[in-house]
Amino acid sequence: MSSTMILMTGAILMAANPWPGWQWEEWRSVTGAEKPALITPQVGTMDLVPLMRTDDGGQVQTIKDWETKRDRILSTLEAILGEPTPFQKVPALAEMLGEEDLGDYVRRHVRIATEPDDWVPAFLLLPKPLPTEPTPTMLVIHQTVPQGKEEPCGIKGSPELAFAVELVKRGFVCLAPDMIGFGERIPEGANPYAGALEFYRKHPKWSFFGKMAWDISRIMDWLETLPEVDPRRIGSIGHSHGAYTTIMATIHEPRISAAVASCGFNTLRTDPSPNRWCHLTSLMPRVGFYVEDIRAAPFDWHEIVACIAPRPYFNWATLADGVFPNTENLEGIFSELKQVYGLYGAADNLEPNLVPGAHSFPADGRNKAYNWLKAHLPARTEALRFGQSVIPPVEEAARASLRKEWERRRGEIRQLLIRDIGPVEPPEWTPSHQVVEQSEREGFLEKKIRYVIPGGETVAAYLLLPSTDGTSLPGMLVFHQTVPEGKEEPAGRSGRASLQFGPELARRGYLVLIPDSITAGERVYPEGAFHTEAFYRLHPNLSALGKMIRDGRLAITLLQSVPGVDPARIGAMGHSLGAEEALFVAAFDERVKVSVASCGFAPFATEANLERWARPEWFSYIPRLRADLRAGWLPAWDFEDVIRLVAPRGYFNYQTSGDEIFPEAAAIHPLVEATCPIWKLYGAEGRLRSRLDPGKHDLPDSARGEIYDWLDGILK
């Protein structure tokens, strides 16, 4: 540990002579600051308030409960961090100061405008060969060393902390800035880290932490203008000062898609010297009002870190950290934090590591973090653009080459989907089912069955067996819409006759399986039909959509095992919610030879009510998307990308122009047709069909007739 870092450690800090300009009382004299009047559940206790406890003492049950608490935490923190003296926001602007070719990469020296009279010097590292398309990018924040950005760029300092060099060699674009008070931002004639009073005279109501978060947001503005940078895949990484800066920047900047923090915090209430936050680098000077009785502090670090959820977060902490001691309680904090992530079905987005060791980020930890970043910031734009622009040539050799390239790209698109919906591969399972009751109906035998899927959950379903003779029948998996009775409607036992696909298909010679989806029929949780709160408590790593895909794939396995079914001729069909299941199951399971989706979705690009896909309560379908919505983004993929994954198998999309559930859904029709080049690569364009009719959220007789004839042409 450097002597500089020793000055930063708790008790030693108070024994050292603070540099002029960094004494807390002088800050208070310059700014005239008074103790904030903040009353929160954390005030007055040495115990950490549980993350899953609401401010009124109840239990956090839903995303809405948590986000209400999160917003209060952020409001409290804003009162501590303060606000700047008003100034005009600057445009995304930078100046090039120099460039060096360093063999594996190019390093550019730039300065980026963040205020009308303030520029942030930084190094921009670009991998070689230079990127020709948007690339995952990392903000790399230095620790508390005078040289600032030079250490993570391998110029001066510990080779262990040259994160930017290690990451650029792995293909990331990297931006390493000087934070305020470091490197080229040390005021002329001042000691390292000095000059706080100059800043606080200019911004008496602000803080260094607030300024650093602001600077990083302006850096993000500029990065988004670079053709080499994928603005949807920007992460941040740092050790010590770089770690807590990464945390604070991430909770303030929703465009940061993943964060890695090494040895960046302990809790105020276990810290022998919480005054570290208000002295020296003067990060949060208002904390000084609470250091004599830390119980009065209106927040603690476990709350701050939790505000990152559900975005991917990797934490590295050590049990013998001399800078941030007493980290033993982090194990319990991470366990609670998993529950917060679990509300979004995103518990696997949290990677906590509490290990033996000192204040360091060793090679094994860094390599683990880099591999984690590769998984959570996957390449994106190239794969989607390929699917949108490919025009198959006439020559077969060229078509074969494009097919090979498309197969690689489709794997990348699947990874993008999995990042949002969670794992979709079902566990190994030997299918079996129990017949509960059966009855003869016109043209088919109906069996009500139950089967137990991995995890011990029982699924109720109808199995419809045609009365016609046949030992090798095509099978159809039929999904219900969003109705409490679930499977009863498509089985012809309730609901609209136009949506009773099961009996119609059985009478045409298909062996039909109609299961209940989660939260419907006989799978309703105590909160009621289509309430997913209990689901996410049971499945913290899965989205509701991910679970439906898994269950649908298990249903295919069961259907293939039924005597009389040809396992090579399986289709899927559904309306509304069932359409989404039929599409996504087909996209991820090539055993589905044909899929029919009726009135299931509008393109994200035209959807006015995107939150329907990630509600904060009731039926939360893909809750991880809330991170995108908070950043003001559309999801990283759209439904036409999912449709392409079905190629070259059969896909029929039906939609009405007057759909009251999906008012913008008519826009899906031209997008489906635009996916045809992928089918043409395989000479299978006849297996893609899209029909747009006038009408409401329904599937009328004429359309069903066309669909059934089309199914017959593929499966019979």
Kindly list the averaged pLDDT for each block of 10 residues, start to end, along the chain of length 716.
Answer: 28 34 79 94 97 97 98 98 93 97 98 96 98 95 96 97 98 98 86 76 94 97 97 97 98 98 98 87 90 96 98 98 96 98 98 98 98 88 62 79 88 91 95 97 97 97 90 96 98 97 97 98 95 96 98 99 97 98 99 98 94 96 96 94 97 97 95 93 95 97 97 97
pLDDT at 194: 64
pLDDT at 689: 97
Domains and CATH numbers, the chain: 94-377 (3.40.50.1820), 419-715 (3.40.50.1820)
Strand order, beta sheet including 229-239: 94-101, 105-115, 118-127, 173-177, 135-141, 229-239, 258-262, 313-318, 350-355
pLDDT at 24: 85
Count the Cβ atoms, other than its own, within 10 Å of residue 391.
Answer: 8
pTM of the model: 0.93
pLDDT at 362: 97
Is 55 buried (19+), middle (13-18) or exposed (0-12) by CB count in 10 A?
middle
At position 471, the amino acid (one-letter code) is T
- Residues 6 or more apart whose CB falls under 8 angstroms from that of 123 comprise 107, 108, 109, 110, 149, 153, 164, 174, 175, 176
With b for 16 or more beta-carbon neighbours within 10 A and e for fewer, the 273-300 pattern comes to: bbbbbbbbbbbbbbbbbbbeebeebbbb
